[in-house]
Chain A
């Protein structure tokens, strides 16, 4: 093929016929921004971000769809193009949730809030799990977008989180079509999703809006991996951050032995993806979504145990090795059997066989066979145990029924998860396996693929081969002991091609998904899978009726703006005694945390208390999922000290987020007390503003600020205060309610003007009644307990940095406690 010669940005470039300008530029190391284009997809030309100027051509063609021609002269970066791209980005951002992109406080915010808030719906970058990876945010920074200058639209499409593994927030979708196209490409033209609707109603969805479980979606995850924004996310991985490295290994969970890339952060597996977005590289739902959830699973065995006279005892690895060796000693020969699982490296299986033969002098070794969700042990071994010939067994999982287990005199188990076998075993090794070990695996096609260590094992926990080797060494069978898995590889005989066990591939058929690992059904470990493999019908959760009482019943519930839920709760005792500035502690059910919420309103006559809850984690998610008529399990208050309602003169009330509701009762009471009350509220964008009229009616003046400038003053409460001071307003007192970061910024402003500022502290709390001291904050030289000394404390003296740091105390536990089940099938997962 002859090379085509063209010029891009003055540089001589050679390309092949059929290449696009984008291809040619990329090969020449010239960067052109793209959103809808992707190396794995055909040119599409939807986003128009890759426009260039071609000499002699009219307008600005998209480089991703324009083929190269000999002698072309292309400019990718002239002033006009930059300006056009800025406009394109602004238009895209206008329909995406992007107030953070143009926020004045972006840099400070990212410094003090290094991780995004775990919101239900993403309303801005600060609540977006994809903040680090977002192409749109990246280009917006690169092209220095400071103002949108176009109307900001929030599409307000409910988050789809009823399907397993994926959250879909199409309010962030920019309609680049990558997901639709990759789905079609990977699944033989029969994608599960497509464009629905036209014009401004266009969006991505399934046929008739069905659940993905009811379409031909194979849950391969390609759509999530290719999405350039945070619209499509992996529910498990989304808040775990960006990986430090991506390690390629082989998934051993079924005979396919697919190559897979595991994302690793701090030595822990946080996610998986296919090695490429091609048909050949596809992986199944188990590899993509279940495999990465096995390693840090809450049900995982983390301690070795030995059985002593009065029960189990957790002990060190060395003690377990010793105990296992001691127990096995007297069962050499045919009295011993070893049972392994096929999802094991060739090296480990070889060593186990060798252990059986050389250390135990027995021929009773078998690798179990898997038939759907059933594990089949060799008949000879089953018969041997039944007849009492086999008296001792070493297994790597839960393979034997209760009756067989009872017949054994000695049982040693090395496994990742607890089972009835580990309960009965004389010694249990918490084992490392899969991506925690190394070796090779023979695929169904007969290829030997490498298994690489991706995850770091905790101290004192070791992979299977090391366990076998150490027990052998302790028993004096030094010929079996090895120092590394590689040592075994060298010893391996020529591999024989394994015969295919099942027809077809799980990649194309959910019915063929691997179901079981070491005797544990995947759906029992990763409950989100239940909806896919069991297909149980959702059951309406029982609503708790407290009989004669309607205590803590939710009489009204509304999502005021995305993620902010207003609940009117029947709690007459709280309503009767509530005063402005106080808070309540609520628990949705008996498993919930005790979470404080600022009271936004109350009605003594009705006996109701209103709270506005920001969905930002597990507990507030539980609140968000409640319906009118449901009951909160617990609701205690009013707690904390009320504000001093008296005449100050001119009072500024600053509110952000839930604080917009929080300042409402203050406004009412302070106005009644004869003050001139100015409310300054902030929201990231106009679509997050609520209770405007309510506040306006309650105060003398309402000042609205938005971070993206989509309404009134651009900025936050501090810019509002700045404006008031600037116009000559003398402010005698201010009360601020909002997140810690917001209150810190406001205090910087009020300090400048020496405005007395009381801020509603919101540290972590447990009991909220002055018992635990979790809520302590440093105010000047003193340490205050926010729950009994506050919540309002002198904001000008608060150590804000310490407070923000203390907020991060349980960050990883907060992520871990997020529900992984899809809400419809919640009942299937309660037992975990």
Chain B
């Protein structure tokens, strides 16, 4: 990089156009599992970083669930100190390469960006991804400094985004951290749920490897709630427990024909492909779901992941969603990518039954057209069926992607843990403390089906509380505006 620095005025900065991230062409990417956006080059990253005004009171940080020092890491990129930028990120965020890809920045940091008021906001997510990728690819990872050992042991249940965040934060504070993972690979939804083309598995594994290098112990194939209980962890030397077991039990539509062969929950559909690597069948033994036409029911990110995976397997993909495009909970970018890849959107449409052939395999799905009526509790306009509008879609696979109920394994075996009526764990939003002493929880097991970054945010709060709890401090609500206070 150039040593000579020319001072950029805010005006100069505002004049730089928002840098584009190169993407794979839709025709090409619909037949491979590679990532869609390629990431910034060093040059474009610096240009993009120069657009940041380095606000004194940065609005963007307020939008970040994990309080990343956004202007700080962007300044380092601007100076060409890419690895340092990554280290800066990791002070607050254990998984920058992940969040740089899957965070909904458009509704968090970037929507608050001052630059965004004129032209596009600074591409914070893409810069985050760039710095994290640079550090990994150039093998510049640096173990963060670790506080002296406290002698306190923490059990983290589940190695998804919440659990990994808790582990990452607590290990730096000098605690002895063990993660228990029920599946045969760590990463939770990052491994089994989010497809390779959105989040390469190599990245997740390298982030986990980084935690292990810092001393986090990871035990796979260990089902807490079954092979051990929360109580027994506390009895056997763990001073605190964090529950981050995520979502479980997929929801179905409760319409006729849902147990036909060819109806798979989005969880099953994605797990087969991602965790069990069925795209490499028969080298990998798990059977792939081979389809000609996949109908995905739902409008969230998981629905988009499913339908885009279907397209990549060579099938035709259709989304059936009962409201309109505006109400879709999926990230705009995901919907846009799906559209580009040729997914057919049947909006304001609701399935009424699935019809099978004589062998019990899906043949068609019957749907009903809807129109939007009065707003419901969620503030979104309630879809109302249009009488007599039934029609059939021929297909061989139906994927309900309607969300999940929380995993019951822990609640079944931890009687004194207070649960909500939805089966989620009741935890104090400001401390992530549960009704059980020394037990904290976060992620989808608390909030129902939400996002990776929300889980990480809760993990962050929980780690903070656990630290205070272990050190005998008062568990005051975390000061949101001042992350350094801990």
A interface residues (Cβ-Cβ under 8 A, vs B): 298, 303, 308, 310-315, 552, 573-574, 576-577, 582, 587, 591-594, 618-619, 622, 633-639, 766-767, 769-774, 776, 778, 783, 785, 788, 802, 805-806, 808-810, 813-814, 816-817, 832
Contact = CB atoms under 8 A, between A and B. Distances in A.
Nearest to A622: B285
Interface in B342-368: 359-360
B438 interface: no
A811 to B, nearest CB: 9
Interface residues of B, number: 49
A312 B28 contact: yes
Nearest to B221: A636
A313 B28 CA distance: 5
A802 B268 contact: no
Given A574-B227, A767-B183, A817-B282, A308 B28 contact: yes
Interface stretch (B5-13, B51-59, B257-265, B372-380): B257-265
Question: Which label, helix, strand, loop or mixed, suits the secondary structure of the A interface?
Answer: mixed
Interface string B272-291: 10001000011111111010
A788 B268 CA distance: 15
- In the complex, which of the residues A593, A638, A773, A806 has the most CB atoms of chain B within 10 Å of its own CB atom? A773
Contacts of B192: 767, 771
Interface of B: 24-25, 27-28, 31-32, 182-184, 192, 220-223, 226-228, 247-250, 252, 258-259, 261-262, 264-265, 267-268, 271-272, 276, 281-288, 290, 314, 359-360, 404, 407-409
A174 B272 CA distance: 44
Nearest to A552: B221
13 contacts: A303-B314, A308-B25, A311-B28, A573-B228, A593-B287, A638-B227, A771-B250, A771-B271, A773-B264, A788-B408, A806-B360, A808-B360, A813-B290
Contact of B287 (A773, A778, A813): A813
Nearest to B247: A771
A817 B267 contact: no
A622 B282 CA distance: 14
Given A770-B409, A772-B250, A594 B276 contact: yes
Contacts of B404: 771
Given A310-B24, A310-B28, A314-B31, A817 B261 contact: no
B287 A802 contact: no
Nearest to B245: A769
Nearest to B288: A813
Given A313-B28, A767-B192, 6 more contacts: A313-B27, A314-B31, A634-B184, A769-B223, A776-B259, A813-B288
Nearest to A820: B282
B359 A805 contact: yes
Nearest to B183: A767
A808 B259 CA distance: 13
Contacts of A772: 250, 265, 267-268, 271
B202 to A, nearest CB: 15
Given A769-B409, A772-B250, A783 B271 contact: no
B49 to A, nearest CB: 26
A773 B27 contact: no
A443 B17 CA distance: 70
B267 A773 contact: yes
B285 A593 contact: yes
A298 B283 CA distance: 9
A783 B252 contact: yes
B184 A636 contact: yes
Given A308-B25, A313-B31, A637-B223, A591 B249 contact: no
Nearest to A641: B412
Contacts of B265: 772-774
B223 A766 contact: no
Contact of A810 (B25, B28, B284, B287): B287
A773 B253 CA distance: 13
A665 to B, nearest CB: 16
B284 A591 contact: yes
Contact of A767 (B271, B288, B314, B360): B271
Contacts of A817: 281-282, 285, 287
Contacts of A813: 281-282, 287-288, 290
Given A783-B252, A802-B360, A766 B271 contact: yes
Contacts of A592: 285
Q: Which 8 residue pairs across A and B have the least CB separation, nearest first?
A: A813-B287, A810-B287, A772-B268, A314-B31, A805-B360, A636-B221, A773-B265, A634-B184
A262 B261 CA distance: 31
A249 to B, nearest CB: 27
A594 B28 contact: no
A771 B248 contact: yes
